Amino acid sequence: MKEVVIISGKGGTGKTSLTASFAVLEGGNTVVADCDVDAADLHLLLEPKVIQTDDFFSGKLAVIDGDKCTNCGLCAERCRFDALYFERGQYRVDPLNCEGCGYCSLVCPEHAIFMEEQNVGVWRISNTKAGNIMVDAALGIGAENSGKLVAKVKQEAKKIATQKGIDLILVDGSPGIGCPVISSLSGADFVVLVTEPTLSGLHDLKRVCDLVKQFKISAGCIINKFDINRLVSEQIRAFLEEKKILHIASLPYDESFIQALTMGQTIVEYDQNELCGTIRESWHQVKQVLNNGKK
Amino acid sequence: MKIAVASGKGGTGKTTLATNLAHFLAHSYRVTIADLDVEEPDSRLFLSGEPVEEKEMVKMVPEWVAEKCILCGDCQKRCNFNAVIQLNTIILVFPELCHSCYACSELCPESALPMKPQKIGMLEHIKNNTLDVIEGRLDIGQEQAVPLIAKTKKFVNSLHPHPDFTIYDAPPGTSCPVIEATKEVDLVILVTEPTPFGLHDLKLAVETMRKIDRNFAVVINREGTGNDHVARYCKKEHIPVIAKIPNQRKIAELYSRGELIYPQVPEFKEQLQKIEQYIVEFSQGGAK
């Protein structure tokens, strides 16, 4: 089984639009995993019919038993996250500040604090309009542990792929380089980096490339909107060459991206011309690399 | 007054708005802008100035002192993050998993796990007359952005004299880094775009802001593309839309070169003036 992860460092470069296009091109031959659990958007393009939903529990939250608490204040004294405060006659927990470390509960002389497991979101299995099985998730508002939810989504996607004998998993990652991204990279066979020719795009690409390098995963790059700034596009190509990262394709700035999106379609459904052809060709290249890979 | 510029979706124009607004306001006020998108900080690409300070940022993690340890194993049991593991006669610490709660360290009966600083990133401070620019930058491979965001904010709060406006360029999303970046601000400006992705992620961001009880207003970027669903949603939810930035190729090109937009695009400057008017009224208690 092979796993392709699509990430970008910088947000808004076209990751999800491209992932959805690849999913449509591949149809039932791939399981799709939306690992941008903070703001999962793939479902807007793939019209999933949900067949299973489950709660996801991870991390803990301190809860004070008011009957046992003697207001000694030791919990607040020890808490490094300002999560405990005294108000209207008793100590209370600020759930947004509580890190779930449990230190307060360990030191409470009255055993008045217990740690409650947190429901931090849901994950779902669906059938998409393109014939893929998709696993995605929605992190609870302001919740922590997005990295663990990403791991869960990937794990479920793998399980399904194994059961159904599907040998490809397509993963839509999140922006940034922190825990959700690191979690989405673990176990990947190939990374598709989507960037744009802006100084921010290049700057963020360099950082995400360094991260991918740490994981020793081979990567390719798609430069989206390459004609917005041809000079920076050239700089990106030089950078890719230097880092031995495959330049998969350069896509022009094209209003059809937004028009397709507005109609709830992927580019490959909306546009049957050149753009669609380039994306098709890009995906073909990714698959070729995967099939030639040693892993 | 503290303002965070945030968004559910990435790439909607947070940094563009935050940097231009900060630079624009600095003509009339003392302004500090802090880039709290520490995973991918980009504000410095658009703002220049004289270097004031650059320093390493650290978080505290326990360090095992073998000679003192009696291998009771309590530290492993106490750590909720699997950051301290006992392997036979060795205690292993995984700094990237550690949340710096101090429980293992302070509760160790033999004081065998003293807390030591570990580098997680850099902080840079530059100055351009009335504009202070602060940037937090997470080291690659570090998983947790929140400690660095918290420390960068702390640095900003320690600056003297206090600015009239502090602008935080927040990370995208709705999870812990965003909560950390928007906590304690007076107003959050949510930047979105008029597309289904923009709308969907705006709704998540609005839910987040309501949950943490923040005042917020919306700026629609790339107005003219997509459809009017974002504007209709804001109207229905009684969310103030304080500016609409037109979709112009010129803006995208200036942005791509790391240039400020408003000095060269009058329509953009007009929108900044609207935002200025809103936040000034807001700071005087006039707007909500």
Per residue in A89-103, pLDDT (tens digit) is 999 999 988 999 999
> B39 lies in a domain?
yes
> B78 lies in a domain?
yes
The CATH number of the domain where B265 resides is what? 3.40.50.300
pLDDT along chain B (288 residues), means of 10: 95 97 98 97 96 97 97 96 93 94 98 97 97 97 94 95 96 92 96 97 96 96 96 98 96 96 98 98 77
Give me the mean pLDDT over the A208-219 stretch: 95
Quote the ipTM score.
Answer: 0.92
Residue among B80, B174, B178 minimizing CB distance to A100: B80
Q: Do B101 and A103 touch (CB under 8 A)?
A: yes
Q: Which of A250, A247, A273, A249 is nearest to A260 (CA)?
A: A273
Q: How far is A163 from chain B (nearest CA, A)?
A: 31
Q: Do A178 and B252 touch (CB under 8 A)?
A: no
Task: Give the containing element (helix H, strand E) for B192.
Answer: strand B187-192
Topology, domain A2-47+128-291: Rossmann fold (3.40.50)
> B165 lies in a domain?
yes
Per residue in A111-154, pLDDT (tens digit) is 999 999 999 899 999 999 999 999 999 998 878 778 899 999 99
Per residue in A226-268, pLDDT (tens digit) is 999 999 999 999 999 999 999 999 999 998 999 999 999 999 9
**Does the domain made of A60-119 have the CATH classification 3.30.70.20?**
yes
> B175 lies in a domain?
yes
Phi, psi dihedrals of residue A261, rounded to the nearest 5°: -60, -45
Number of domain units in chain B: 2
The pLDDT value recorded for residue A286 is 97
Does B152 lie in the same domain as B97? no
Assign A273 to helix, strand or coil.
coil
> B185 lies in a domain?
yes
Residue range of the domain that includes B102: 64-113
What residue in B sits closest to A178 (Cα-Cα)?
Answer: B143
pTM equals 0.94
Q: Model confidence at A293, in pLDDT bands (50, 70, 90)? A: low
Residues A82 and A97: their CA atoms lie apart, in Å, by 7
The pLDDT value recorded for residue A294 is 47
Does B190 lie in the same domain as B86? no
Does B92 lie in the same domain as B38? no
Q: Do B211 and A10 touch (CB under 8 A)?
A: no
Written as six digits, the tokens of A81 are 């996250």
CB atoms within 10 A of CB B184: 12
Does B128 lie in the same domain as B12? yes
Q: Which of B72, B91, B113 is the last residue of a domain?
A: B113
**Parts of chain A belonging to CATH 3.30.70.20:** 60-119
pLDDT at A88 over 70: yes
> B288 lies in a domain?
no
**Parts of chain A belonging to CATH 3.40.50.300:** 2-47+128-291
The pLDDT value recorded for residue A131 is 97
Q: How far is B1 from chain A (nearest CA, A)?
A: 22
